[in-house]
Amino acid sequence: MGGQQEEEPSVRLFREYLRIRTVHPQPHYDGAIDFLERLSVELDLPCKKIEVCPGRTIVIITWEGTDPKLKSILLNSHTDVVPVFEEHWKHDPFAAVKDQQGNIYGRGAQDMKCVTIQYIEAIRKLKSEGKRFPRTIHLSFIPDEEIGGQTGMATFVKHEEFRALNIGFGLDEGLANPGDAFTVFYGERSVWWVTVRCQGSPGHGSRFITNTAAEKLRKVLNSFLDFREKEKKRLNLSECLTLGDVTTINLTLLQGGVAYNVVPKELMASFDIRIPPTVDLKAFEEQIQKWCQDAGDGVQYEFQQKGMDQQVTSIDKSNPWWQTFSSTCQKLDMTLQCEIFPAATDSRFIRAMGYPAIGFSPMNQTPILLHDHNEFLNERVFLTGIEIYRSLIPALATVSPLEGEA
């Protein structure tokens, strides 16, 4: 690779952003906000800051359209990144090291600081060419996506400031794809975090006590994990299914007990469940209820998180937003792979408010490394992504007025 002097300014900017430690549990959000405000000045675009929760500020940069009454385009990205285990990284995860192959290593390289800079750099190029579009374009930069979004997008969508953005269509993050295709997500699985409490007879650890919490817990675990095995088998046996099409259940917490020689009166198991939009959520909860009843008396469940919205964005040609997105990609000779997102992003809050949204990160020929050690993105892939947005943004911002629009 060439020296630092020849580096593309957009790559340099990407690496600068990666060095801002917006990592949980104490993200340096002020550094990210200062960085984004600086970019809004460079772009000569207004920047608005909205504190949605104490110490949690959303940044909105707006490029007004020539017909601002039309519904706008939202380009969403989150500013936070997940924790790292530095001993497993070959480079400092916050140094944004670039190797001889042009791979840029850093926490957030794929998830999703790349997309933030790609949006900004595409808009910089479009503006420098003197372009203007009918629809207004909003860039939103959101905190706390990686810890569930409750203190970020989930709160923001209920604000008057969000409604005032007058959104018609949103783009948010997707995933890398190791092949030539680009993965596109039109919906997400519902996230359920559930804790099952098993109560039973306590006593001395030397006896055969009947009706113990442990016996009930064993039945609960068998029911949940047998179902997990069935879904895993279903995924493995079908070439048509992806992870987003099946329900995953994982046992994530076990709690209870006081001493080695005391049979406890209560034991608890917590599960992370991800449910596709095709599943009847009411029927699924009834299944959980039955598993608990079958385990015996004194077995109850409670939700820590219970996503009930199953909105998906239409990927039918009758949807003008999708038609524009997909036909633009087609013109760029891109192959799209449409899926349900297996995890969770801020898109779910946008869709829940009734706005169509697509999850898309332009990263093909790239291993999926979000949340993983040695997360990286190649600079060539990164630069190609800017060019993709340079085509997508104008296309979406010039979608003809739709029914009900001024």
d(Cα 240, Cα 229) in Å, to the nearest integer? 18
The answer on 285 and 229 residing in a single domain is: yes
Is residue 351 domain-resident? Answer: yes
44: annotated active-site residue: no
Give the largest Cα separation in the chain, rounded. Answer: 82
Neighbours of 23 (CB within 10 A): 18
CB 186, CB 348: distance < 8 Å:
no
DSSP 8-state secondary structure symbol assigned to residue 65: -
Residue 33: CA count within 13 A, CB half-sphere: 15
N-to-C CA span, the chain: 51
The residue out of 284, 306, 328 marking a domain boundary is: 306
The answer on 268 and 386 residing in a single domain is: no
The answer on 291 and 248 residing in a single domain is: yes
Is residue 405 domain-resident? Answer: no
The answer on 72 and 201 residing in a single domain is: no
CB 145, CB 153: distance < 8 Å:
yes
d(Cα 61, Cα 136) in Å, to the nearest integer? 11
Is residue 321 domain-resident? Answer: no
363 preceded by a cis bond (ω within 30 of 0): no
Q: Domain range for residue 158?
A: 4-174+345-397
Residue 205: CA count within 13 A, CB half-sphere: 7
Ordered strands of the 97-98 beta sheet: 97-98, 103-105, 376-378
The residue out of 286, 306, 326 marking a domain boundary is: 306
The residue out of 247, 275, 306 marking a domain boundary is: 306
List the pLDDT tens digit at each of the 406 positions of the chain.
444 458 999 999 999 999 999 999 999 999 999 999 999 999 999 999 999 999 999 999 999 999 999 999 999 999 999 999 999 999 999 999 999 999 999 999 999 999 999 999 999 999 999 999 999 999 999 999 999 999 999 999 999 999 999 999 999 999 999 999 999 999 999 999 999 999 999 999 999 999 999 999 999 999 999 999 999 999 999 999 999 999 999 999 999 999 999 999 999 999 999 999 999 999 999 999 999 999 999 999 999 999 999 999 999 999 999 999 999 999 999 999 999 999 999 999 999 999 999 999 999 999 999 999 999 999 999 999 999 999 999 999 999 999 888 6
CATH label of the domain that carries residue 76: 3.40.630.10
Q: Which of 111, 121, 144, 145 is catalytic?
A: 145
What per-residue confidence (pLDDT) applies to 150? 94
Is residue 406 domain-resident? Answer: no
The answer on 131 and 245 residing in a single domain is: no
The answer on 197 and 298 residing in a single domain is: yes
Pairing assessment for the beta strands 103-105 and 299-306 based on DSSP bridges: unpaired
Is residue 300 domain-resident? Answer: yes
Q: Which of 80, 111, 121, 144 is catalytic?
A: 80
Host H or E run for residue 58: strand 56-63
* Structural domains counted in the chain: 2
Output the six-digit token pair for 378.
């190649």
The answer on 278 and 135 residing in a single domain is: no
Pairing assessment for the beta strands 167-172 and 72-78 based on DSSP bridges: parallel
Is residue 179 domain-resident? Answer: no
Phi and psi, residue 15, nearest 5°: -65, -35
The answer on 24 and 131 residing in a single domain is: yes
Is residue 151 domain-resident? Answer: yes
The answer on 302 and 202 residing in a single domain is: yes
The answer on 64 and 142 residing in a single domain is: yes
Residue 245, CA distances (Å) to 43, 78, 190, 278 in order: 41, 25, 11, 8
80: annotated active-site residue: yes
The answer on 170 and 261 residing in a single domain is: no
Is residue 24 domain-resident? Answer: yes
CATH label of the domain that carries residue 265: 3.30.70.360
CB 369, CB 176: distance < 8 Å:
yes
The answer on 15 and 140 residing in a single domain is: yes
Residue 231, CA distances (Å) to 10, 228, 234 in order: 43, 5, 5
d(Cα 57, Cα 63) in Å, to the nearest integer? 20
d(Cα 209, Cα 26) in Å, to the nearest integer? 47
DSSP 8-state secondary structure symbol assigned to residue 178: S
What is the SS3 assignment for 199? strand
- Backbone torsion region of residue 211, taken as left when φ is above 0, otherwise alpha when ψ lies between -120 and 50, otherwise beta: left
CB 397, CB 138: distance < 8 Å:
no
What per-residue confidence (pLDDT) applies to 5? 55
What per-residue confidence (pLDDT) applies to 406? 63
